[in-house]
Amino acid sequence: MSASPVTPAPPTTPGKLSEGARIVDTFIAPSKTFTDLRRSAAWWGPWILISIVSLIFVYSMGKQVGFDQISKNQIAHSKRADAFDKLPPDQQAKQLQFSNNIIAGFGYGSPVLILLFSLISTVALWATFKLAAGAETTFGQAYAIVMYAGLPGIIGAILGIISLFAGVNPEGFDVNNPVGTNLAYYLDPDTTGKFVRGMASSLDVITLWSIVLMGIGFACTSKVKRGNAIIIVLAWYLFYKVVTSALATMG
- What amino acid occupies position 123? V
Q: How many CB atoms lie within 10 A of CB 223?
A: 10
Res 120: pLDDT: 97
Give the separation between CA 79 and CA 75, rounded to whole angstroms.
Answer: 8
Give the separation between CA 3 and CA 166, rounded to whole angstroms.
Answer: 74
DSSP state of 7: P
Q: What is the dihedral of CA 226, 230, 235, 240, to 10 degrees?
A: 140
DSSP state of 150: T
Using DSSP's 3-state secondary structure scheme, residue 182 falls into strand
Using DSSP's 3-state secondary structure scheme, residue 226 falls into helix
Determine whether 124 is exposed, middle or buried from the number of CB atoms within 10 Å of its CB (0-12, 13-18, 19+). middle
Paired strand residues for 182: 204
Res 205: pLDDT: 96
Asked if 22 contacts 213 with a C-beta cutoff of 8 angstroms, the reply is: no
pTM of the model: 0.88
Handedness of CA 231, 176, 193, 206 (dihedral sign): negative
Give the separation between CA 22 and CA 1, rounded to whole angstroms.
Answer: 52
H helix runs in the chain, sequence order = 19-28, 30-36, 44-64, 67-76, 81-85, 89-108, 110-133, 139-149, 153-167, 194-200, 205-220, 226-248
Give the separation between CA 241 and CA 67, rounded to whole angstroms.
Answer: 26
* Cα three-residue angle 19-212-221, rounded to 5 degrees: 55
Give the separation between CA 199 and CA 187, rounded to whole angstroms.
Answer: 12
Res 12: pLDDT: 42
How confident is the prediction along the chain (251 residues), in pLDDT tens digits per residue? 444 555 554 444 457 999 999 999 999 999 999 999 999 999 999 999 999 999 999 999 999 999 999 999 888 877 778 888 888 888 888 988 999 999 999 999 999 999 999 999 999 999 999 998 889 899 999 999 999 999 999 999 999 999 999 988 898 899 989 999 999 999 988 788 889 999 999 999 999 999 999 999 999 999 899 999 999 999 999 999 999 999 988 76
Res 192: pLDDT: 86
Closest to 219 in 3D by CA, of 120, 129, 128: 129
